[in-house]
Amino acid sequence: MTDESGLAGFGALPEAAAIDALLGCCSAPEWARAVAAGRPYASDAELFAAADAALAALPESGIDQALAGHPRIGARAESAASAREQAGVAQADDGVRAALAEGNRAYEQKFGHIYLVCATGKSGAELLDILRDRLGNDPATERQVMRTELAKINRIRLARLLGGAA
């Protein structure tokens, strides 16, 4: 459970600092502004619901901004959050990493954006299986699946922001 002082501390941040902190969770400025504007939140659940609602309200351009903040699965992560989330890929053998790279290229060619998945707790082989399954989706279905995965990642990062063990 997230420490309530974390939630209270987040609520007390100046708006610019709150937005900056939120951009570390999701790189879509419109999302960060919407979540910051809803402060203070009475509970983690209320914050997560607001984050989900802000994500659902994002236009496709905002989703593209959010995607830009994530590395390809299996690529070198620039942020500590991404590195932590993709830790299972680091233990993958060369064959799995090569297949992920090939799958990423096929995915991007088909859907026009990176393969985004909530990688926390998943091995490289699991992520590869998920990628192969999702390549069978039509573009509209895949866009919705990707939004759902983005919401999961946002919640994990929000919990960590508040001091929770995500």
CB burial of residue 33 (10 Å; 0-12, 13-18, 19+): middle
Cα–Cα distance between 166 and 159 in angstroms, integer?
Answer: 6
Residue 60 has a pLDDT of 94
The answer to whether the CB of 51 falls within 8 A of the CB of 158 is: yes
Residue 5 has a pLDDT of 56
* Buried b or exposed e, range 134-160, using 16+ CB within 10 angstroms: beebeeeebeebbbebbbebbbbbbbb
Residue 75 has a pLDDT of 78
Residue 91 has a pLDDT of 81
Residue 111 has a pLDDT of 97
Cα–Cα distance between 70 and 117 in angstroms, integer?
Answer: 10
Name every residue whose Cβ is closer than 8 Å to that of residue 115 and which is 6 or more positions away in sequence: 72, 73, 103, 104, 107, 108, 131, 134
Only one residue has tokens 């830009």, namely 68
**Per-residue pLDDT tens digits of the chain, which is 166 residues long:** 334 459 999 999 999 999 999 999 999 999 999 999 999 999 999 999 999 999 999 999 999 999 999 988 887 767 777 778 787 788 889 999 999 999 999 999 999 999 999 999 999 999 999 999 999 999 999 999 999 999 999 999 999 999 965 4
Please state the pTM of the whole predicted model.
0.89
Cα–Cα distance between 160 and 153 in angstroms, integer?
Answer: 11
DSSP conformation letters of 25-59: T---HHHHHHHHHTPSPSSHHHHHHHHHHHHHH--
